[in-house]
Amino acid sequence: MIHFLRKGYSLVELLVVISIIMVVFTIVNANYRAYTRKRALDGVAEGIKADIRLAQEYAISGKKPAGSCDALQGIYFRRMAGSYYRIEAYCKVGGVNRTCTTSPGYPDLCYKDAVYLPSGYTMGNIVPVTPLNNIIYFKLGGRGNYLDPASSPYSITITQPYTSATKAIYFTAGGEVY
């Protein structure tokens, strides 16, 4: 009688194992991609929150910009367009109220000029509409801002490209940013 010793796996067994591994990999890969996209959106939102808080900090401390500023009036966080924003000083220069400008002959009153969001990301309008459209105006010395407490909280919505996932940033007339 001849006995064959089995020293391996059959082709069917190998194909079943490989199929199971492929299914698990596909599920894990899809979840990982969704996770990285969410983290990227969260990162953009956290950067904007940090800049809103930076504008608050400049207003509280009364920090003047590098350009000539006779009398600092306040600090603006200004949504310029759907893909960028800036932090600027609101100053009296030569008796005239001025903000951040890139025009020749005018002082540079920008703290952060044209902070662009990553490619494809968009930033919605400030909702509800602020007293100064798409501007958060912080008063000097920690005296708050010009937002209506009855309309709080205000929000800015960030939209991620391709997925259309959104993340809202909320801020109140009392100065909270979350």
71-105 pLDDT, tens per residue? Answer: 888 999 999 888 999 998 888 887 788 877 666 66
pLDDT above 90: percentage of residues in the chain: 52
Q: According to the model, what pLDDT value does residue 159 have? A: 96
Reply yes or no on whether the pLDDT at 22 is more than 70.
yes
Reply yes or no on whether the pLDDT at 1 is more than 90.
no
Q: Of 166, 142, 83, 85, which is closest to residue 118 (Cα–Cα)? A: 83
Reply yes or no on whether the pLDDT at 68 is more than 80.
no
pTM: 0.81
87 neighbors 122 (Cβ within 8 angstroms): no
Q: According to the model, what pLDDT value does residue 107 have? A: 61
3-state secondary structure 29-50: HHHHHHHHHHHHHHHHHHHHHH
102 neighbors 113 (Cβ within 8 angstroms): yes
Does residue 1 or residue 49 have the better pLDDT? 49
- Domain residue spans in the chain? 11-171
Q: According to the model, what pLDDT value does residue 97 have? A: 81
Q: According to the model, what pLDDT value does residue 105 have? A: 62
